[in-house]
Structure 1
Amino acid sequence: MLGIPLQTSTGGGITIAIAVFVGQAVAFVIACWIAKRSYDGYRDARRSPLLWLALGIALLAAVPTVIRFLLPTLLGASSLTTTVLATASEIVGLAAILYTVYGRP
């Protein structure tokens, strides 16, 4: 069967690249906004669960986005290194959110 593949391993066109970049930027901004709102709530009420929630959101969404974008771009990090560091950040972020929900912060 001959035809144009729907997906290639080397990437797509410029439109796809721009769409991915914009999507990652939007996800980063939203995660930072949620983390800041949680931190502001912590500062106002001095409730430690809000601080843990802010940390968890930042580590779950904002930090991996930065890692996946900046490490390969600026430092030339390998795909394996980038994936391991981003996944580790996500796991720590989820653990912080779980601590908020089930722990006694």
Structure 2
Amino acid sequence: MPTTTIEGHHIQVDAEGFMTDPMEWSEDLAKALAAQIGIELTDEHWKAIKFVRQDFADQGETATLRRMSVVGEIPTKQLFALFPQKPAKKLAYVAGLPKPRGCV
């Protein structure tokens, strides 16, 4: 499995760059991952990140955009504003989770 180093953090990633071991994630690493895709994290970003990480721990898979909106109670428009273009993928990337299986 490939590994990469981001700001001194050695992490295991898949071919698309998504982390494969959520236990390697940290808030400092999230900031570095977000910066790589041009996002500066705000309290609203952290709310979404905390939801998807907890949901992953509970469900065993990364939440889809629909689940983030319905269960996480984060409006889809807000997700697109926070994580432009591909919010589910970008949120999973920053949260140190596998790429979501479905887009909705």
- TM-score w.r.t. structure 1 length? 0.27
Q: Relative to total residues, which structure has the larger helix share, 1 or 2?
A: 1
Larger relative contact order (C-alpha < 8 A, sep ≥ 6)? 2
